[in-house]
Amino acid sequence: MSLSCVEVYNETVRDLLTRRPESLRAREHPQTGPYVQGLGMHLVSCAAELRSLLARGMSRRQVGATQLNGASSRSHALVTLSRRRLKEAACINRSLVALGNVISALGESSCPAPSGSERTGDGRRRRTFVSYRGSVLTWLLKDSLGGNSKTVMVSTVSPASTCYSDTLSTLRFADRARAIVNRPVVNEEPGSRVVMELRAEVNRLRSLLALNKVWRQ
């Protein structure tokens, strides 16, 4: 987690966790909204570090004596605690969803097409669009999943009853991956095949000429 603490005093913004006295500027990002330019973010890993930073920030606030309180706060303090795991979890789920969609599309293309559906010349279902660019993970695995590769998927499951839902979803995921059938092709340039065919033809003609010479003698 990360923590920031700012003070708003007389319409000026100041970072309470640094010793810099200068005021900071409040700006607005078109996507993320308002933010404080130059505001420091401090990493915290336990409750003790969190309390220490809060105590440091509160000790630097503007205070003044009033009739009711001798050390009354004369400003507003904004404390922001950010959890980085939220973005991390969102990215992980996005990659898994994209990987599942790619595997499902490849599996559907590999299975025989039912009667009445659109089929290719060899009876397979017409190839569907595979969204490899759904995430960086699927884009990097494009050749492994649908190219000239033999990919092995290892699924980890648990016999514990508390892991039943995770085990079931993992097995379903693996079952979809098992349906993928890759049909490799020879990786060669179009011109190289023509050159090989011409060389074979030249060798065949040379053999015929040599045989003709022997027959005439």
- Whether residue 101 contacts residue 131, with contact meaning beta carbons closer than 8 Å, is answered with yes
What Å distances lie between residue 145 and 113, 138, 151, CA to CA?
21, 9, 7
pLDDT tens column, 26-64: 888 887 788 888 888 888 888 999 899 888 888 888 777
pLDDT for res 100: 85
pLDDT for res 122: 54
Residue % of the chain over a pLDDT of 90 = 3
Torsion from C-alpha of 47, 52, 57, 62, nearest 10 degrees: 120
- Whether residue 184 contacts residue 148, with contact meaning beta carbons closer than 8 Å, is answered with yes
pLDDT for res 217: 61
Distance CA 51, CA 117 (A): 65
Domains with residue ranges and CATH for the chain: 2-82 (no CATH), 90-178 (1.20.58.980)
pLDDT tens column, 158-193: 889 888 988 998 888 888 888 887 776 766 666 777
Angle between helices 164-178 and 85-110 (to 10 degrees): 40
- 0.85 cut: is pTM over it? no
Give Cβ neighbours of residue 23 (< 8 Å, ≥ 6 apart).
Answer: 12, 13, 14
